[in-house]
Structure 1
């Protein structure tokens, strides 16, 4: 393996809670309440597709024009950005800084493949921009996860063949995208949910280079 490519939300920092709060507020405005269980289906999914899923949940998928849906997605994002404006390095998930440092010292290339259009901003606020050789976010891809485009673009930017990359994700859609790209998949979360990953860590505190390489 020559490169490690990370998702952002739920792997580097847990901004998933802020996404949930912002989507929930929009849903309530539209008269479409939903719970955390439904919110799990939005993990790793693009903003546009997340909105479509919420509208389908409420039977309102045909109530808005493309332009109106765009404004709804923008409203959600503005709320989300306001919620994450105070994120700092203290919000980096346990063990991630050490893991990123170990990868750099060992000579691996490090990339990010995020479904968030705010990936650059969040990474900057975390103080981790220098830890990544390249960041690909939702603003630079056509197809969202589980399509492999974001991971393939990251591998190309790092000048590494996909088969020589490890992808790290916390969402089922992300694991599917990693496999579709032809990469080795590492999951962060519940092994009973991320069943397709070759290797699953229940949380980032036990994610280490030695543990990953031992399995590969």
Structure 2
């Protein structure tokens, strides 16, 4: 049995045990992995129904099982093993006035992996992240980025890197409009843009806040 089908079986077990909160999250994860816009639209419609019938557990389970049956007909290939997309070698950052020095730090970051960066306040966690995201220059050491798409400029590279700071800038307009604006800058067509944005809002549990 493939990993994808195993995950679908886990979803069924959650709903069989009436753990609808975790079951629904896992169902959305599996739906998102299909990258199928028709599946996305079904999950969006189900999320809208779910928020309007918050006490109808039986109805939610029944409708979720219908989507689950459809997901079983889809083929999702696992991400193949790849080399690192970011390699940092002996990175340092020195601030002259304060005398603070970060590093040297070496790290490899691979696609599909999750990393934790742990340390006391003031130890340079944010500095390292900003260097990796090319928001800060490093004093010494080297950085190497590998992406499938050709990177011909610093702008192209920055478009592939996302860094979310502890304090974000003020957004103007609604949550939905801001996310649609980002995707439009990446050339996503209008209908797909709308579908992808609503699916992500649903997955993050922000359905009732999308127009705020």
Common fold: TM-score over 0.5: no
Q: Find the structure with the greater CA-based Rg.
A: 2
> Which structure is higher in RCO with an 8 Å CA cutoff and minimum separation 6?
1
TM norm structure 2: 0.25
